Structure 1
Amino acid sequence: MRLFLLTISLFALAACATTSNNSQSIQISEGACFGQCPIYDVTITPDDHYLLNGERFTRVNGFSEGDLDAGSYARMEDLLENADFFDLPAEFTFNNPDVCPGPPLSDMPSITITWTNRRGSHTVLWYQGCNNATMRDLRDGLRDAFDYESIVRPG
């Protein structure tokens, strides 16, 4: 009987530790640069809904939310999967010379991408002064998928 109760308890704990559908999201934050780069945080959920906090140099400063085109989240997931996002290093900065060789450009913004899904959560920070084709293509693809030009970029 003890073994049975212990087994049931372990299954219950495992179920609590599993990421649910409701907590799946893609979060993107871009930081300051020497200039007028947009500073914002956006969270996109599987129902193609976004929540944006525009801090500076954005179309709307403060919080806004809305719906993206159908399939936007799925396109973003495909981009992340194709980039093997969960296998990327956590940091693409000058502190990690394996992915940022040579002198990086100064005064560039950083972007932080966090993907939370059934597999868990992974965050990647990319200082955009480190020339990295994988991260550049990922940034551009994600921006296209969540319509950066319409919801973030000043008009």
Structure 2
Amino acid sequence: MTKTLSLIALTAVLAGCTTMTDSAADGAAAATGETIRYSVSPCYGTCPVYAVTVLPNGQVTFDGQEHVAARGQQERQAGVAAYRRLAAALAPYRPMTGATAQTRCEQQVSDQQGYRIAWVGDDGRETVLTHDRGCISPTNRALNKVMDGVPAMLGLGGWIGR
């Protein structure tokens, strides 16, 4: 009887640990399995305009539209590690699953590029963040730095040309 109760208690404890791990992983790790897409909008000048799709397996599709070195669709394998770095870098800015959000401004500078960042689940459900690079705040400056680093992270520099 004591052994049976001990096994039941151990099972309950282990199940509780699993639930805690799953809950803790809901934030950044929610991106595991999600496709990450982002597009860069034009500015009032010759800023590169393009869209990128990154699959969880690290497959990258680049669609160069304006003022880029490679126009049209290009593909490369950046690797699972690159996908995970991207997902982790964007995790602090990711809205709640299924939501659409826009970054908030403390100050606004005009004529800047914008981003549309989408996390797409296996079921097709999108979580979207839109961001104007001219929307200034400490959080947005940090997001701008993240987005500045994404082309190098994914090996897109030669296609963008800047």
Length-normalised TM-score, structure 2 = 0.66
Shift of 1:57: 0.8
Are 2:111 and 1:107 equivalent residues in the alignment? yes
Secondary structure in 2 matching 1:112: strand
Alpha carbons of structure 1 residues 105 and 28: separation in structure 2 relative to 1, 3 Å? same
Are 2:58 and 1:77 equivalent residues in the alignment? no
Secondary structure in 2 matching 1:64: strand
Query: RCO greater where, 1 or 2, for CA within 8 Å and sep 6 or more?
Result: 1
Shift of 1:138: 3.0
Shift of 1:70: 4.8
Shift of 1:28: 0.9
Contact 1:46 1:73 in 2 (8 A): yes
The alignment of Structure 1 onto Structure 2 pairs a total of residues equal to: 125
1:66-91 Cα distance to aligned partner (Å, 9 max, x none): 1114511011111122x151259711
Unaligned ranges ≥5, structure 1 = 1-20, 93-98
Aligned to 1:148: 156
Contact 2:113 2:132 in 1 (8 A): yes
Query: Any residues of structure 2 matched to 1:24-43 within 5 Å, and which?
Result: 24-43=34-53
Alpha carbons of structure 1 residues 84 and 39: separation in structure 2 relative to 1, 3 Å? closer
Length-normalised TM-score, structure 1 = 0.69
Across the aligned residues of Structure 1 and Structure 2, the Cα RMSD in angstroms comes to 2.6
Which has the larger helix fraction? Answer: 2
Q: Comparing 68-77 with 142-151, which one deviates more in the overlay?
A: 142-151
Query: Any residues of structure 2 matched to 1:3-152 within 5 Å, and which?
Result: 24-81=34-91, 83-87=92-96, 90-92=101-103, 99-102=104-107, 104-117=108-121, 121-131=126-136, 132-151=140-159
